[in-house]
C-alpha cells in the first residue's frame, strides 16, 4: 500500500494499491509496444502532443498546485509556478528537439558519413517528492521528444502527482501506456531495471539510492543519469554587495521550504564582511512567512514528512554540540505538522555535521573564511558538487572563480543556482553524473549512431 499523508496536518489523504509483479510486467510490455510505434512518428507529431501537454499543465495549474500542497506541503504559489515551469520545458523541447537531434555531418574519407540519433527505448525514471512535477517533466519532455517511452517510479508519498502526470500526457494525446506510472515500492526498482525491455534509467534522489541503481545498471550494462544530493556553497567575498547577497542567499536557502538539491546550503563568507552578512542573513531568514501552505502569503510550509523534520533537527542539535552557534530558529514546534523554523547556524566548520552533510530543510550554515583562496578551499571541501555561487562586484573575478575554481556542475555569479530548460543541469563527485535539460539532456538517452555510406560495389 502506498500512502499519501498531508504533512501540514498529519492526516492520510489517500492510499493506493501497489501494482503486482505480473501487472508491472504487463505495463512494461505495453509501454514497449507503444514506444515502438512512437519512435517512428515525426518530430512535428511529438511536438504537437508536448505543446498540448503544456496547455494542460497551465489550464490545470491550480488543481496541480493544490495536489502538491496536499501531498508534500509545497506552498500553493510555488506549486503554480512549478506547473508553469513544466509547461515551459515541454514547449522548449517541442520547439528545439528536432534541431538538437539533427544528423551531424562527419568529415571522413567516405562518400557520406554522419552522426544519427535514435531513441534507446524504455527509460525508467526514479523520482523524488520535493518537486513532484518538475523533476519528472524535465526528464520526460526530452525523452519523449527523442522517441523514447517512459516508466515512472515516483516517491510513494506523491502517488497522486504521479497519476496526474500520466493523465496530463494522455489528455494531451500521447498514446496510453507510452508514459506509465508504476505504483511500486523502492524494493521493486531493481527488478524493473532488470527487465530486458528497459534500456536505461535516470534517478534524482539520495546518494544511497543512486548508488544502488548505478550498481544494478552497471551489472546490466545499462545507461544511467544520476542527480543526487548537494551541499551547495555560496561564497561571499569582501567586495560583494553584502545586503543584496544576503537577500539572494536567503531566497535560495528557503526555496521549496529548504527542500531542494540546489538550494544554498553552506555560506562561506570572508572575515572582512562576515558579521555584516550574518546580521543581514538572519534578518532575511527571520522575515520568512511560515505557515499553512494553502495560504498565498506563506513562503515556508511544512517539510514533506515528520521523520525528515526530525532528522534535520537532529543535525542542527549535533552541529551545536560540535561547537556551532544558533543565531535563529532551531526549535522544533510542538504542534501538528512537519514544520521547522528558518534556522541560521554560525561558527560552522567543514568537519561539523552542518558543514559535511546535506541539510535538506530551511537551515543555513555559515562558515568563516580568511580570504578568497580560503573561501574557495572551504567551498570545495565537500563530497558533493551540484551547484555553487560566488558574490562579488568584480564580474571578471566572479566568472574566473565560477569557471575555474569551484567544483560543481552549475556555478553562478551574483545569483542563486536554478534549473532552466536552456541550460545543462547536473553535478560531479557524489552529486552524480550525466546532464539533464538543454541539448545535453536530450542527448543522454539516444543512440549516437555513426552512419557511413561507401562507394557502390560492382
The cell for 194 is 532488470
CA 127 – CA 78 distance, rounded (Å)? 19
The cell for 377 is 578551499
Helices (H), 287-406: 306-321, 353-356, 372-380, 395-400
CA 27 – CA 273 distance, rounded (Å)? 58
Residue 157 CB-half CA count within 13 A: 23
Helices (H), 101-188: 134-145, 159-171
Quick one: which of 170, 93, 187 has its CA closest to 139?
A: 93
Residue with cell 526549535: 331
CA 331 – CA 325 distance, rounded (Å)? 13
CB-CB contact of 446 with 118 (8 Å): yes
Helix or strand or coil: residue 269? Answer: strand
Residue with cell 527509460: 123
Q: Tell me if residue 261 is catalytic.
A: yes
Name every residue whose Cβ is closer than 8 Å to that of residue 42 and which is 6 or more positions away in sequence: none
Q: Which of 90, 261, 410, 411 is catalytic?
A: 261
CA 430 – CA 356 distance, rounded (Å)? 12
CB-CB contact of 328 with 344 (8 Å): yes
Name every residue whose Cβ is closer than 8 Å to that of residue 381 and which is 6 or more positions away in sequence: 350
Q: Which of 227, 284, 358, 444 is catalytic?
A: 227
Give pairs for 405-408: CB < 8 Å, separation 24+: 405/376, 405/380, 406/233, 406/235, 406/376, 406/379, 406/380, 407/379, 407/380, 408/232, 408/233
- Residues pairing with 237 in the sheet: none
Number of C-beta neighbours around residue 50 at 10 A: 27
Provide the pairing of β-strand 266-270 with 233-236. Answer: parallel
Q: Tell me if residue 227 is catalytic.
A: yes
Count of all residues that appear for the chain in the document? 458
Residue 414 CB-half CA count within 13 A: 15
Radius of gyration (C-alpha) of the chain in whole angstroms: 23
CA 117 – CA 100 distance, rounded (Å)? 10
Active site residues: 227, 261
Amino acid at each position: 500500500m502506498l500512502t499519501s499523508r498531508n504533512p501540514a496536518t498529519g492526516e492520510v489523504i489517500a492510499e493506493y494499491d501497489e501494482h503486482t509483479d505480473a501487472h508491472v510486467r504487463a505495463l512494461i510490455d505495453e509501454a514497449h509496444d507503444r514506444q515502438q510505434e512512437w519512435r517512428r512518428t515525426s518530430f512535428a507529431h511529438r511536438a504537437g502532443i508536448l505543446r498540448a501537454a503544456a496547455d494542460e499543465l497551465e489550464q490545470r495549474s491550480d488543481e496541480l498546485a493544490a495536489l502538491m500542497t496536499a501531498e508534500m506541503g509545497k506552498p500553493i504559489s510555488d506549486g503554480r509556478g512549478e506547473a508553469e515551469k513544466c509547461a515551459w520545458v515541454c514547449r522548449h523541447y517541442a520547439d528545439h528537439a528536432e534541431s538538437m537531434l539533427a544528423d551531424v555531418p562527419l568529415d571522413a574519407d567516405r562518400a557520406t558519413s554522419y552522426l544519427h540519433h535514435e531513441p534507446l527505448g524504455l527509460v525508467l525514471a526514479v523520482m523524488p517528492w520535493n518537486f513532484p512535477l518538475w523533476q519528472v517533466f524535465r526528464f520526460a519532455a526530452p525523452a519523449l521528444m527523442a522517441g523514447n517511452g517512459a516508466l515512472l517510479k515516483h516517491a510513494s508519498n506523491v502517488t497522486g502527482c504521479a497519476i496526474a502526470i500520466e493523465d496530463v500526457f494522455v489528455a494531451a494525446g500521447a498514446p496510453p501506456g507510452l508514459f506509465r506510472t508504476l505504483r511500486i515500492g523502492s524494493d521493486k526498482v531493481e527488478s524493473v531495471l532488470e527487465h530486458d525491455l528497459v534500456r536505461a534509467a535516470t534517478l534524482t534522489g539520495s546518494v544511497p539510492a543512486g548508488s544502488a541503481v548505478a550498481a544494478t545498471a552497471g551489472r546490466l550494462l545499462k545507461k544511467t543519469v544520476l542527480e543526487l544530493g548537494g551541499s551547495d556553497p555560496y561564497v561571499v567575498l569582501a567586495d560583494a554587495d553584502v545586503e543584496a547577497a544576503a537577500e539572494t542567499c536567503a531566497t535560495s536557502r528557503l526555496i521549496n521550504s529548504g527542500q531542494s538539491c540546489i538550494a544554498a546550503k553552506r555560506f562561506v563568507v570572508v572575515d572582512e564582511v562576515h558579521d555584516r552578512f550574518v546580521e543581514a542573513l538572519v534578518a532575511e531568514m527571520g522575515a520568512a512567512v511560515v505557515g499553512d501552505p494553502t495560504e498565498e502569503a506563506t513562503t515556508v510550509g511544512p517539510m514533506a514528512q515528520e521523520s525528515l523534520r526530525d532528522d534535520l533537527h537532529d543535525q542542527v542539535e549535533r552541529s551545536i554540540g560540535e561547537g556551532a552557534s544558533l543565531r535563529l530558529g532551531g526549535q522544533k514546534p510542538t504542534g501538528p505538522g512537519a514544520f521547522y523554523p528558518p534556522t541560521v547556524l554560525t561558527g560552522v566548520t567543514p568537519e561539523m555535521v552542518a558543514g559535511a552533510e546535506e541539510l535538506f530543510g530551511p537551515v543555513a550554515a555559515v562558515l568563516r573564511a580568511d580570504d578568497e583562496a580560503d573561501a574557495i578551499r572551504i567551498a570545495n571541501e565537500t563530497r558533493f558538487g551540484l551547484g555553487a555561487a560566488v558574490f562579488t562586484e568584480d564580474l571578471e573575478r566572479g566568472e574566473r572563480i565560477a569557471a575555474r575554481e569551484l567544483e560543481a556542475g552549475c556555478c553562478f555569479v551574483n545569483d542563486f543556482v536554478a534549473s532552466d530548460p536552456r541550460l545543462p543541469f547536473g553535478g560531479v563527485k557524489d552529486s552524480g553524473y550525466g546532464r539533464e535539460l538543454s541539448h545535453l539532456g536530450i542527448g543522454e538517452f539516444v543512440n549516437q549512431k555513426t552512419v557511413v555510406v561507401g562507394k557502390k560495389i560492382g
